[in-house]
Chain A
Amino acid sequence: MTTDYALCRDGVALFDLSTESRFSVSGPAAETALNALTTIDVSSLRPWRGKMALFLAPDASIIALATIFRADACFYIFAEATVADRLRAYLGEEIAARGATLTDLSLTHCLYSVVGPSAQEVMIAAAGDDVVGLPFLSGEYNAELGATVFRMGNTGEFEYRMMADLAQASGLAARLCEHGASFGIAPVAAEVMKTLLLEMRALSHNDIPVDTSPLEAGVHWMVNFRKEQPVAAAALHQSKAAPRTRCVAVTIEGVDAALPGNSRLLIEDQDVGVLASSEYSQALGKYVGVAYVAPEFGWVGVSFVAHTPTGGHVVVRAVSAPMLVTKTAKRA
């Protein structure tokens, strides 16, 4: 894991993300159908541009965090593996009901990602100079790779995701390894992604308790409030006026192992919140995580106490995110 992390933050790593969710929505009704289901204004997407979006239930709880791209003849939807079944069931029913066609691309297409401060150099070597002009949240087909290349992701590093026909998977991975060899590229386990995302306070679905609204999770920047929200307007309005909790990034010092999920957070023995998840950050030399805290205490600078499994206690501090400025950010 140490090497995997270092590759992502200091060099370049190759992820096989083939377990992640990916769908296309096509047909004349595709735009209308997606607009009726998601929090962003899909009609404002220019060709081959993307946006991060949410799929919400009527009570404003989050079905999935996703990235949506407009392609030439369809829209692509990317989401985490953990929401695959739920999202497939939801979209399968709702998209069909609106006269568009949903295709599950996880059955037919592979998905690889190149991540790290040297990812751009690897992509230039493997895919040609065209990739340099690819802005964040955009995509295009690349003939040299035989894959559609997307710039996306929330690790704070250069990230390029490549989607290709499943039959080309091994060839695509081999080409990326071959052209990335001089930059030290190596395949890494997907588990390290969790730490990279927490350092940026980019939430995964498992970091968000059931029934939490986007405003309570702090992901409401994926909601276009100028758009009439099609699914959860009333619940979003209620949550904006009176959030029940606030999500804050936290650091935990002086512990040798991650605190158990759902560890309670205390101030003077009063239970004021819960730690949703934590991972060790090598860059920061401490555990980092996200917590959900009573609104009056959910602010940077406030510190809490959590009990450890061995009977001790540690201090958990609410901090600003992203928690570090990456090498990629310094270059940009």
Chain B
Amino acid sequence: MTTEMTLQTARDVAERRRALTERMKNKLIERLSLQLSAEEIADDSPLFGTGLSLDSVDALEIAIMIELEFGVAVSDDELASFRSVNTLVDLVQERMGSAEELA
């Protein structure tokens, strides 16, 4: 059977994602002074309204954090894509991947 991923590739992809997700959670905790540990934050939990219950000021703080910690500038339009930790990691991973390709 042909598959898109081998076990080793899947492990590598998963490990890279796990490390980046954990880093993102720890930076969120630090920047927003969240009274949570990284494993207590669900990857897909809502950032606003419910879940982490953040607000629009927090969204700006997140944008600043992403620029400072990951070197990724966030446009106003991209703020609308801030829906969960996973969507934040997507943004960073996509941009970091693009930067690596250009280097």
Contacts and interface: CB of A to CB of B under 8 A. Distances in A.
A298 B44 CA distance: 12
A320 B44 contact: yes
B45 to A, nearest CB: 4
Interface stretch (B25-33, B63-71, B82-90): B82-90
B contact face: mostly helix, strand, loop, or mixed? loop
A320 B86 contact: yes
Given A51-B50, A301-B14, A302-B13, A201 B5 contact: no
Interface in A212-235: 215, 218-221, 223, 225-226
Nearest to A50: B50
Given A218-B45, A313-B1, A302 B40 contact: no
A85 interface: no
B80 interface: yes
Interface in A50-65: 51-52
Interface in A125-168: 136-137
Contacts of A300: 17, 43, 86, 89-90
A256 interface: no
B16 to A, nearest CB: 8
A218 B43 contact: yes
For chain A, give the interface size range.
35 or more
B11 A225 contact: no
A221 B42 contact: yes
Given A218-B42, A299-B17, A325-B80, A320 B49 contact: no
B73 interface: no
A321 interface: yes
B39 interface: yes
Interface string A236-277: 000010000000010000000000000000111110000000
A303 interface: yes
Q: Give the 8 A-B residue pairs with the shortest CB-CB distance, closest first.
A: A320-B86, A221-B45, A299-B14, A299-B17, A321-B44, A136-B49, A218-B42, A301-B13
Interface of B: 1, 3-7, 10-11, 13-14, 16-18, 21, 35-37, 39-46, 49-52, 80-81, 83-84, 86-87, 89-90
Given A52-B50, A321-B84, 14 more contacts: A218-B42, A221-B45, A225-B40, A267-B5, A267-B6, A268-B7, A296-B11, A299-B13, A299-B17, A302-B14, A303-B3, A320-B44, A325-B81, A325-B83
Interface of A: 51-52, 136-137, 201, 215, 218-221, 223, 225-226, 240, 249, 266-270, 296-305, 313, 315, 320-322, 325, 329-330
